[in-house]
């Protein structure tokens, strides 16, 4: 089998000019230029000429007198070189040691002849880079790192590419016409909604600082028009961008990623909904991840903040949503939303967004993501789980190639399997529905554990901030509030007695539901005297379990506390 070679050159003009090899002057190659922690990755069919161009670029000054690694392979063609470039950019971006100088506008995920053969070769290339100390993480370690998931350096599929392009056009059109815009992106769990939001943040940040008189444009960019057209380009200049993340557990990690956007020169700030509402500034563009977690009205301990924000923005204490705050303070909004992932009565409803579909507003809601990007069970698995956890038409029993599904009747056995998977590949955790009080978090009880099942005394997650990334978490049980929006290789789901199976139906058991906050009506529901019955909470609990079951990439294990529930699930697992 013909194999690649990796060669080093000093990144200096005198050394590059000495290159005489045909393969380095007239053949597809991939390279990366490194100096200190800065790295730039590229591909070309004329390595020598490309290096001389880079040496004249002001943007590459940080790399002067650095090292160029060139990857040569006589089997490379243009498609393979582009794919390897994308592969390296995505994986280098998850290396803490590197400041990646690339844009993300040229990354795309397209098929080509014999791609699986080249993909296997790329894995060996990464291993060689790791063996030589150029990279510090194995490929499995990279894929398990939160920086990888939330990195804006992702190769978009065709559908995601189309959505990003159309959203950019909607914003550009609104700026040109001095109007406001709202772009609504929808999709099931695992379809890459967060990928699109992070990609947009990076892309718009690059547009902010791009100098189209001096800076290079990636010839393979899917968004060249926005960079090379002077009129388009100027409309994104000097724009203030807000990235709004409702999940506390994600904000710290995403903040770390944002610091490197556009070489640190981009005007992008990250907020929780509350900190965004309290901020004195207005924004040109607001990007909202997991928009279904935005809230309506007073929310427990934040009630005082909510009142303050409502008075500041609207001059009253009427019922306003967190989306209302964003619409008040931002000219152009991009929100990802999935109604199936609303898990509390206080979460906003679609009508809270669609009320802004009025004349004069560039309101677009036809951006739907449908291709499954997380689960190896693909969309068929997602539909299978959604059908199981509903009282509608039931599916036929299925097996999904490459995706493991198993039910346990003994919880210690499931924990042992999760620990085994975590040792093998990492990112394996046990989670549960909120069917037990969080006693270990209470000063009143001073408890050592929160739940006891099959002789196991277990604690809820000891933190909500990067719980999945902590080694101690393998012995704990995560809640919906800890893992929503996260990816796990394997997940063990404990179904508590809040969900039972009786008389041929799934039923809500209020006596075993410990999530007191999720039982409370929203401020709007209270004002409108809306009563919430068991059917309402049944659907809410079913959504929670669907979300938990849809966190898995490679496999899901299930344990049900209720005997009737075990018998029901045995038909499908």
Least trusted range by pLDDT, from 24-28, 133-137, 451-455, 550-554: 24-28
Neighbours of 65 (CB within 10 A): 8
Give all strands (DSSP E) within 134-291, no chain letters. 180-187, 241-244, 268-271, 283-288
- pLDDT tens for 325-357 read 999 999 999 999 999 999 999 999 999 999 999
Alpha-helical runs (H) found in 315-451: 322-329, 350-354, 378-388, 411-424
> What is the predicted pLDDT for the residue at 214?
66
Least trusted range by pLDDT, from 5-14, 140-149, 262-271: 262-271
Residues 350-378, mean pLDDT to the nearest whole number: 92
The answer for residues whose C-beta is within 8 angstroms of residue 25's C-beta and 6 or more apart is 19, 46, 47, 48, 49
Tokens of 287: 């990007």
For residue 111, what are the CA distances in angstroms to 53, 148, 224, 366, 375? 30, 22, 21, 26, 19
Q: Are 231 and 202 in contact (CB under 8 A)?
A: no
Tokens of 260: 């490197």
For β-strands 456-458 and 428-432, DSSP reports them as unpaired
pLDDT above 90: percentage of residues in the chain: 65
> What is the predicted pLDDT for the residue at 267?
76
> What is the predicted pLDDT for the residue at 1?
46
Integer Cα distance of 218 and 115 in angstroms:
23
Q: Terminal CA-to-CA distance of the chain, rounded, Å?
A: 42
Which among 495, 475, 507 is positioned nearest to 408, based on CA atoms? Answer: 495
Backbone angles phi, psi at 223, to 5 degrees: -125, 35
Q: Are 386 and 394 in contact (CB under 8 A)?
A: no
> Does residue 144 register a pLDDT over 70?
yes
> Does residue 125 register a pLDDT over 60?
yes
> What is the predicted pLDDT for the residue at 101?
86
The answer for residues whose C-beta is within 8 angstroms of residue 159's C-beta and 6 or more apart is 369, 370, 371
- pLDDT tens for 232-260 read 888 998 899 999 999 877 777 777 777 65
Write down the residue that tokens 């056995």 correspond to.
413
Q: Are 59 and 49 in contact (CB under 8 A)?
A: no
Tokens of 150: 């939330």
- pLDDT tens for 504-539 read 999 999 999 999 889 988 888 888 899 999 999 999
> What is the predicted pLDDT for the residue at 266?
61
> Does residue 262 register a pLDDT over 60?
no
- pLDDT tens for 147-195 read 787 888 888 889 999 999 999 999 999 999 999 999 999 998 888 899 9
Q: Are 261 and 209 in contact (CB under 8 A)?
A: no
Integer Cα distance of 45 and 24 in angstroms:
8
Architecture in CATH for domain 158-369 = 3-Layer(aba) Sandwich (3.40)
Cα dihedral 261/35/143/104 (nearest 10)? 40
> What is the predicted pLDDT for the residue at 464?
81
Q: Are 470 and 520 in contact (CB under 8 A)?
A: no
For residue 240, what are the CA distances in angstroms to 254, 329, 429? 18, 11, 38
The DSSP secondary structure of 25-41, one letter per residue, reads TSS-EEEEEEETTEEEE
CATH class of the domain comprising 5-144 = alpha beta
Mean pLDDT of the chain: 90
> SS3 for 295?
strand
The DSSP secondary structure of 335-347, one letter per residue, reads EEE-GGG--STTB
Which among 107, 95, 86 is positioned nearest to 37, based on CA atoms? Answer: 95
Tokens of 439: 């006693």
Neighbours of 524 (CB within 10 A): 19
Give all strands (DSSP E) within 485-561, no chain letters. 488-495, 499-502, 505-508, 552-560
> What is the predicted pLDDT for the residue at 427?
93
In residues, how long is the chain? Answer: 573
Which among 92, 104, 89 is positioned nearest to 201, based on CA atoms? Answer: 104
Q: Where in the chain is the domain with CATH 3.40.50?
A: 158-369, 378-569
Least trusted range by pLDDT, from 8-17, 49-58, 297-306: 297-306
Q: Are 223 and 168 in contact (CB under 8 A)?
A: yes
Q: Are 96 and 257 in contact (CB under 8 A)?
A: no
Backbone angles phi, psi at 495, to 5 degrees: -95, 110
Three-state SS string over 451-486 comes to: EEECCEEECECCCCCCCCCCHHHHHCEECHHHHCCC
Q: Where in the chain is the domain with CATH 3.40.1440.10?
A: 5-144
Residues 307-321, mean pLDDT to the nearest whole number: 93
Q: Are 407 and 558 in contact (CB under 8 A)?
A: yes
374-398 CB burial, b ≥16 within 10 A, e <16: bbbbbeebbebbbebbbeeeebeee
Architecture in CATH for domain 378-569 = 3-Layer(aba) Sandwich (3.40)
Number of H helices, E strands in the chain: 22, 20
Write down the residue that tokens 């009205």 correspond to.
297
> SS3 for 209?
helix
Alpha-helical runs (H) found in 19-157: 47-56, 78-92, 115-131, 139-144, 146-150
């Amino acid at each position: 089998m013909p194999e690649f070679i990796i060669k080093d050159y000093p990144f200096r003009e005198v050394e590059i000019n000495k290159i005489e090899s045909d393969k380095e002057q007239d053949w597809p190659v991939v390279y990366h230029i490194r100096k200190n922690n800065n790295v730039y990755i590229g591909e070309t069919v004329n390595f020598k000429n490309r290096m001389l161009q880079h040496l004249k670029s002001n943007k590459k000054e940080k790399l002067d007198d650095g090292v160029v690694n060139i990857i040569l392979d006589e089997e490379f063609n243009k498609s393979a070189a582009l794919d390897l470039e994308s592969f390296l950019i995505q994986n280098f971006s998850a290396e803490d040691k590197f400041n990646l100088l690339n844009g993300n506008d040229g990354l795309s995920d397209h098929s080509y002849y014999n791609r699986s053969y080249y993909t296997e070769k790329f894995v060996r290339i990464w291993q060689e880079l790791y063996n030589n100390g150029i990279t510090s993480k194995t490929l499995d370690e990279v894929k398990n790192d939160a920086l990888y998931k939330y990195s804006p350096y992702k190769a978009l599929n065709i559908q995601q590419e189309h959505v990003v392009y159309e959203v950019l056009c909607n914003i550009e059109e609104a700026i040109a016409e001095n109007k406001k815009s709202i772009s609504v992106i929808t999709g099931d769990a695992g379809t890459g909604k967060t990928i699109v939001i992070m990609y947009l943040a990076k892309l718009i940040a690059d547009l902010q600082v791009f100098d189209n008189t001096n800076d290079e444009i990636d010839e393979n960019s899917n968004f060249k028009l926005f960079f090379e057209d002077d009129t388009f380009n100027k409309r994104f200049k000097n724009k203030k961008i807000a990235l709004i993340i409702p999940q506390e557990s994600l904000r710290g990690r995403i903040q770390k990623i944002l610091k490197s956007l556009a070489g640190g020169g981009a005007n992008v700030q990250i907020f929780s909904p509350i900190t965004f509402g309290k901020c004195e500034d207005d924004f040109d563009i607001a990007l909202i991840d997991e928009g279904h977690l935005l809230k309506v009205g007073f929310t427990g301990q934040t009630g005082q903040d909510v009142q303050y924000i409502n008075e500041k923005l609207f001059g009253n204490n009427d019922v306003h949503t967190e989306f209302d705050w964003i619409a008040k303070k931002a000219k152009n909004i991009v929100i990802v939303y999935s109604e199936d992932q609303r898990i509390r009565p206080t979460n906003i409803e679609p009508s809270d967004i669609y009320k802004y579909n009025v004349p004069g507003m560039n309101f677009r809601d036809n951006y739907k993501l449908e291709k499954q990007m997380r689960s190896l069970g693909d969309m068929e698995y997602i539909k299978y789980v959604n059908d199981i956890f509903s009282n509608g038409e039931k599916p036929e029993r299925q097996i999904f190639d490459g995706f493991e599904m198993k039910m346990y009747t003994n919880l210690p056995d499931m924990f042992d399997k999760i620990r085994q998977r975590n040792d093998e590949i990492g990112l394996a955790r046990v989670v549960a529905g909120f069917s037990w009080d969080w006693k270990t978090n209470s000063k009143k009880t001073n408890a050592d554990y929160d739940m006891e099942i099959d002789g196991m005394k277990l604690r809820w997650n000891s933190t909500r901030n990067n719980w999945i990334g902590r080694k101690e978490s393998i012995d704990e049980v995560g809640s919906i509030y800890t893992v929503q929006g996260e990816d796990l290789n394997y997940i063990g789901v404990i179904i508590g007695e809040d969900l039972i199976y009786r008389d041929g139906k799934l039923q809500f058991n209020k006596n075993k539901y410990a999530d007191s906050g999720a039982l409370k009506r929203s401020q709007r529901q209270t004002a409108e005297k809306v009563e919430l019955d068991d059917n309402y909470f049944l659907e809410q609990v079913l959504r929670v379990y669907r979300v938990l079951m849809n966190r898995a990439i490679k496999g899901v294990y299930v344990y049900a506390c209720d005997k009737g529930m075990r018998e029901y699930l045995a038909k499908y697992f």
